[in-house]
Amino acid sequence: MNKIKGPGIFLAQFCQDKAPFNSLESIAHWAASLGYKAVQIPSWDKRIFDLELAYESNDYCQQVQGILHEAGLEICELSTHLQGQLIAVHPSYNQQLDAFAPKQVRARPQERFQWATAQLKMAAKVSHKLGLRSHASFSGSLLWPSIYPWPQRPSGLVEEGFEELAKKWLPILDEFAYFGVDVCFELHPGEDLHDGVTFERFLEATNHHKAANILYDPSHFLLQQMDYLAFIDHYHERIKAFHVKDAEFCMNGKSGVYGGYQDWQNRPGRFRSLGDGQIDFKQIFSKLTQYGFDGWAVLEWECCIKDSEQGAKEGAPFIQQHLIQPAKRAFDDFAASSIDIKLNRQILGLQE
């Protein structure tokens, strides 16, 4: 069995304009001081990373790696969550999602899509240049406004939606496959790929593309009231990245999974800092270790109650405590005996 690596931290929720969160060097030293060993880097935030420059310049890639190495860190994955969201956008979300794109392509859906596609393809090459095996992203969504089966969906709508989603992603998946990097979709409400069934639909539409894989984040499954442990049994072969994020679902008589348009603190389902929610991370780490997952366990802090810096400080030891050293030998080896075919046949009553 392989050992899960960690702890890592996703930097997106921590980047801001004040030190130590406003440059790669300072945020790297901050993360390392808390006990993290790797960082997942948001590729859209030029305060800490310039994707276009990394695509053009090997020297810049070496500079980034040097800064992290000096702090005692490495990169676990690059992230294109925001760019991935723009690969597929239902018209009802055009204005909301324009903020994820540069000004020159806003209010121009086709140009925005072309920009996002170029960003993803850049990320494939840059991931390869940085020696990475996995990449974190979102799928985007054409069908999310039709998530509930009322009003009734026209026949064939879902199939058409997944065919179009696959059409948009196939050239990107091919680029990642060319560079030997897995695209790990974070299965997330608001995306067409948000659970196991939708991921299977996408796999079928892409002819089970080898680069199409999963970023496993149990918090999104708890909030959908899914069995997040059985999910690992079903899809462990496609799980290539892992966000360690906690959540809780507190059932009440006023609202449920859909949340009643309430803010995060008042929703029945809400994200929490590690250890403050309901997720059974001991079983998750056990299952992932059992199935040989050898990627990084990466904190994604999203909590509606606890401050981010406290969540980050508590996150590294939490992950470290859950890492499992796989067994090198069976616990009952002391009672083992060598193979004796004649004896085995006698025990089975198979007399010659």
Tally of structural domains, the chain: 1
Give the pTM: 0.95
Is residue 90 situated within a structural domain? yes
Is residue 277 situated within a structural domain? yes
Is residue 307 situated within a structural domain? yes
- Residue 6 in this model has a pLDDT that exceeds 80: yes
Q: How far is CA 30 from CA 36, 346, 347, in A?
A: 9, 66, 63
Q: How far is CA 154 from CA 35, 81, 161, 170, 204, in A?
A: 52, 30, 12, 26, 21
The span from the CA of 85 to the CA of 153, in Å, is 23
pLDDT in tens, 80-95: 999 999 999 999 999 9
- Residue 250 in this model has a pLDDT that exceeds 70: yes
pLDDT in tens, 49-104: 999 999 999 999 999 999 999 999 999 999 999 999 999 999 999 999 999 999 99
pLDDT interval class at 284 (50, 70, 90): very high
pLDDT interval class at 327 (50, 70, 90): confident
pLDDT interval class at 352 (50, 70, 90): low
Is residue 84 situated within a structural domain? yes
**Which CATH number fits the domain that encloses residue 110?**
3.20.20.150
Is residue 160 situated within a structural domain? yes
Is residue 43 situated within a structural domain? yes
Is residue 352 situated within a structural domain? no
Domain that holds residue 316: 5-347
The whole-number average pLDDT for the span 228-240 is: 98
Between residues 11 and 337, the one the model is more confident about: 11
